[in-house]
Amino acid sequence: MFDSKKSSIIKDLDKLSFEYVPEKLVHRESQMASLRMLFRPVIESGRSATAFLIGSVGTGKTATAKRFCLDIRRYAMDAGKPVDHHIINCRRNNSDSSVLLSLIRHYDPGYPDRGFSVSEMMKSVKKHVEKRGQHLIVVLDEVDVLIKKGASDIIYQLSRFNEESINVGSSVSLIMISQEYVLDRLDTASLSTFRRTNAISFDRYKRDELLDIVRARSDEALHPGHVRDDSLELMADIAAEWGDARFVIEMLERSAMIAEEAGASEVDAEHVREAKAMTYSVVTESKLTELDRQQKLTLLAVARSIKGDAYVNTGQAEKAYVLACEEYGDKARKHTQFWTYIRSLSDQGLLETSVRGDPDGGRTTYISLPDMPAKVLKEKMAQLLQDES
Ligand SMILES: Nc1ncnc2c1ncn2[C@@H]1O[C@H](COP(=O)(O)OP(=O)(O)OP(=O)(O)O)[C@@H](O)[C@H]1O
Ligand SMILES: [Mg+2]
């Protein structure tokens, strides 16, 4: 079924995956330097550190944290002061116990997922860390999810770890990552601990920065000379609107696949345009700008409530709509009016609706997004609404 011939354009597909962390993250030198500064005491005196990385989607927060941890481990090993790290995605592990479970399993993969209380689990983590006599850096990625759920006690506990630790060599540092500033939502006890936490901000990438990123990635992932320079420029132009590195890398991957599929010898602008159309359409773009304010709020609500799912029911979307109105200082319209917005957005092809029967005999309308990733749409609508007010 698949052609086994060697690919002519793509050299190493893994280098285009989102998990891959390049050896060097261009244009994130200052953030790396800040992290190094904050973590200097870890290496020099075994003390612990806390950092908070903040910035919008695709600005390299996760990648920078990973790169930093790998680098510091290497450095610490040479210095004879072993450092270990563990990354936890708090969207997937959004409670005290699942964060702790993930930590324990870092040491003991067979640890059962039930039967132990939070405090017992905390003790296990401590025991493991102390036994190793290592410094552990815990990265809490998308920590806003955990904090908004009110599960911030675990953050506090981890930060207090060192005060109670007996073994001098073993301590725990924290790197927290979020798209928004959430530390002020912590409970009072944690707040006093984290008030002075050092925030490192990640701005959206500018066009030329995206160009450097995509160029570096194409050097790693593609055979030399098989992508035109103006193609890379075009990718950067397109992605510049979002300032999102994920977008530009995705476009590189798609255009390379399209070019390869077409049997072309190099990636040209036409392949990029095709890749772009797959990612999102410009036509949609201009339509979005022209929507009236209530329709924009409705679409924002749909994008927010649908998250990673294929569909969201109208009830959930309407709740998100009321919240969005509140947030932007607009008056939420009545249910029937909300429906007309949904219908009109559907008429314009910006969303699709389908009616399905429920197990209890009722009928529910589900909404889906035909051609734009919810994440992208969410950002776009929020930006348009902000520009207006
Ligand atoms: N400066 C950079 N150089 C090279 N690649 C980068 C750079 N910044 C980001 N990337 C790549 O872009 C993709 C997205 O970056 P990353 O996952 O770090 O974003 P993020 O800020 O964590 O976004 P989100 O808030 O959505 O989690 C990754 O594949 C990452 O390797
Ligand atoms: Mg991330």
In CATH, the architecture of 206-279 is Orthogonal Bundle (1.10)
pLDDT for 160: 79
Mean pLDDT of the chain: 88
Least confident window among 219-223, 235-239, 327-331:
235-239
CATH class of 29-202: alpha beta
pLDDT for 174: 93
Closest atom of ligand 1 to CA, residue 55: 21
61 alpha carbon to ligand 2 midpoint, in Å? Answer: 6
- CB 243 near ligand 1, within 6 Å: no
Question: 366: which strand partners?
Answer: 313, 354
Model pTM score: 0.76
User: Tokens 């749909």 — which residue?
Assistant: 302
How far is Cα 158 from Cα 84, in angstroms, rounded to an integer? 15
Q: What is the percent of the chain where pLDDT is above 90?
A: 54
Terminal Cα-to-Cα distance of the chain (whole angstroms): 54
Question: What is the tens place of the pLDDT at every residue in 84-124?
Answer: 999 999 988 989 999 999 999 999 999 998 889 988 999 99
CATH class of 285-388: mainly alpha
Per-residue pLDDT at 2 exceeds 70: no
57 alpha carbon to ligand 2 midpoint, in Å? Answer: 7
Per-residue pLDDT at 169 exceeds 70: no
Closest atom of ligand 1 to CA, residue 28: 1
Chain-centroid distance, C-alpha 301: 19
How far is Cα 174 from Cα 25, in angstroms, rounded to an integer? 21
- CB 67 near ligand 1, within 6 Å: no
Domain residue spans in the chain? 29-202, 206-279, 285-388
Q: Select from 52, 54, 61 the residue to mutate for testing ligand 1; criterion: most ligand atoms less than 8 Å from CB.
A: 61
* DSSP string over 297-308: HHHHHHHHHHTT
- b/e map of 67-96 (b: 16 or more CB within 10 Å)? bbbeebbeebeeeebebbbbbbbbeebbeb
- CB 61 near ligand 1, within 6 Å: yes
Give the residue ranges of DSSP H helices in 262-313.
269-279, 282-290, 293-306
212 alpha carbon to ligand 2 midpoint, in Å? Answer: 20
Question: What is the tens place of the pLDDT at every residue in 242-292?
Answer: 788 998 999 999 999 999 999 999 999 889 888 887 776 655 677 788 899
Residue nearest to atom 29 of ligand 1 (CA): 18
Q: What is the percent of the chain where pLDDT is above 70?
A: 93
Per-residue pLDDT at 184 exceeds 80: no
> Does an H or E element contain 248, and which?
helix 245-261
Residue nearest to atom 25 of ligand 1 (CA): 57
Cβ of 192: how many Cβ atoms within 10 Å?
11
pLDDT for 1: 53
pLDDT for 225: 94
- CB 66 near ligand 1, within 6 Å: no
How far is Cα 311 from Cα 330, in angstroms, rounded to an integer? 26
Q: Average pLDDT of 156-179?
A: 78
